[in-house]
Amino acid sequence: MVQVLTDLDLLISKSYICSDGGWLMDVFHVKDRLGCKITDERLIRYIQQSIGESKMGSREDRDGPCIGRDVRPWHVLTNHTALEMTTADRPGLMSEISAVLAETGCHISAAVAWTHNARAACILYVDDHSTDPSQLPHLLSQLENVLDAHHCSGGSRSVRLSEAGSGQTHTERRLHQLLAGDSHYEQCCSAPDSGNNGDDDGRCYRKRSCTSETYIKIENCEERGYSIVTIRSGDRPKLLFDTICALTDMHYVVFHASISSHDSKSFQEYYIRHKDGWTLNSEIERHRLTQCLIAATERRISHGLRLDVCTQNRLGLLSDITRVFRENGLSITMAEIGTRGDRAVGTFYLKDSSGQTVKPETLESLRKEIIGGTVLVVHNKSSGRLSQTTSSSGGKPGFSLGGLIWAQVEKFSSHYFRPIKY
């Protein structure tokens, strides 16, 4: 249910969950991404139908036009072959991977990449019509060579091909699974606090990052037979979705929950049991759950300069753009790329090779070198302003989706652009 609401880009400011004794009652306080009440009857009917069918276990993929908009983010696909990779993160990794795909004639329809704790996971969706099935073993071998080229001893790396189909796991949930399976979460929290705020039957964990502090407490409610997980952290987009993914993939069942957000802070409390009916009775299990929950809340936190790109789609486009980033000494900390028709739209979060903020002169170099006809929108957090550049090397472009996007940005930015909380 949370996935349905998240894919529709809806704001969940508060939620109450109760599913016990064979009955279910979940309450979501929802607004649209501009913070307004939902009034579109088509959207309301779609939510009712989709959530109802998902609870019945028979929900099938639906096309966006039935509600006059795209249902999923552009980088979430189920009708394309997916290449899944995990490896140690390093500068230029996405550039090398996309270059291999371009050289073998594979057209990338969408891609998403996350980095966390010096590890990287990416999913690239390949247009099946551009790929010769007989060449897939060679392609996988080439990608393995790329990952092995700078592979650190003692680490892990994987390349996997996932066939298209309605049973394909949701892209962002799959990224959580890939990084969790990579065991990168083991660095995600300190030892439990002593004293425990006066409680003797639970443990508190804190993890301070450059953005906020995450606080997690786990205790058992003996009289009800639940384990109670309390999470306090900074609020951000899709936080509820990420937490639910972590709990579900670790085979915990949520029986009751209360979620709220206020002043950029989030409070989540879950009453859970393992799917076999047991509570969290060992310190090892509590510590592992804490690590996984902190990792889940941090994976999507993007650091660095945000750069939105819109341009004409073509074979090798991702390879060319990421090559420009690499040649300017920039590393991708997070990326989401999708296509609609003949246009390609992507969002990149960038830092320099030393992990520092992108310098103005480097950004100016990007403006000059990026492909002609490309619309760039730079989100400058320090100034709170947006700036647009259209590359001039290809001449002045005519009407484009990128231009339409920018027109809407200018129209709404002064009134509506603010953090979207889930």
- Distance, in Å, from the CA atom of 216 to the CA atom of 211, rounded to the nearest integer, reads 16
User: Taking 70 as the threshold, does the pLDDT of residue 299 lie above it?
Assistant: yes
List the domain range (segments joined by +) for residue 40. 1-72
In angstroms, the Cα distances linking 313 to 77, 172, 235, 342, 345 are: 17, 23, 35, 5, 9
CA nearest neighbour of 402 among 350, 319, 345, 362: 345
- Distance, in Å, from the CA atom of 84 to the CA atom of 163, rounded to the nearest integer, reads 11
Please tell me which of 204-218, 345-359, 401-415 the model is most confident about, judged by mean pLDDT.
345-359
Rg for the chain (alpha carbons), in Å?
A: 22
219-243 average pLDDT score: 92
- Is 222 part of a structural domain of the chain? no
Tens digits of per-residue pLDDT, 26-50? Answer: 999 998 888 889 998 999 999 988 8
- Whether pTM > 0.95 for this model: the answer is no
- Distance, in Å, from the CA atom of 384 to the CA atom of 212, rounded to the nearest integer, reads 19
- Is 35 part of a structural domain of the chain? yes
- Is 150 part of a structural domain of the chain? no
Please state, for a pLDDT cut of 70, what percent of the chain lies above it: 75
- Is 85 part of a structural domain of the chain? no
- What pLDDT score does 396 carry? 40
pLDDT, averaged across the chain: 80
- What pLDDT score does 264 carry? 86
**What is the number of structural domains in the chain?**
1
Quickly state the pLDDT bin for 356 (edges 50, 70, 90).
confident
CB 374 within 8 Å of CB 388: no
User: Taking 50 as the threshold, does the pLDDT of residue 216 lie above it?
Assistant: yes
- What pLDDT score does 281 carry? 87
Quickly state the pLDDT bin for 223 (edges 50, 70, 90).
confident
- What pLDDT score does 163 carry? 79
- What pLDDT score does 185 carry? 66
- Is 81 part of a structural domain of the chain? no
- Is 226 part of a structural domain of the chain? no
Quickly state the pLDDT bin for 411 (edges 50, 70, 90).
very low
The count of residues in the chain is 422
Tens digits of per-residue pLDDT, 142-167? Answer: 999 998 886 655 568 889 888 776 66
User: Taking 70 as the threshold, does the pLDDT of residue 54 lie above it?
Assistant: no
Higher-pLDDT residue of 51 and 176 is 176
Higher-pLDDT residue of 76 and 211 is 76
User: Taking 70 as the threshold, does the pLDDT of residue 263 lie above it?
Assistant: yes
- Is 286 part of a structural domain of the chain? no
CB 77 within 8 Å of CB 61: no
User: Taking 50 as the threshold, does the pLDDT of residue 209 lie above it?
Assistant: no
Tens digits of per-residue pLDDT, 127-136? Answer: 877 677 778 8
- Is 86 part of a structural domain of the chain? no
Higher-pLDDT residue of 197 and 351 is 351
Quickly state the pLDDT bin for 187 (edges 50, 70, 90).
low
Place of tokens 């019509």: 129
Higher-pLDDT residue of 197 and 187 is 187
Tens digits of per-residue pLDDT, 81-124? Answer: 889 999 999 899 999 999 999 998 888 889 999 999 889 999 99
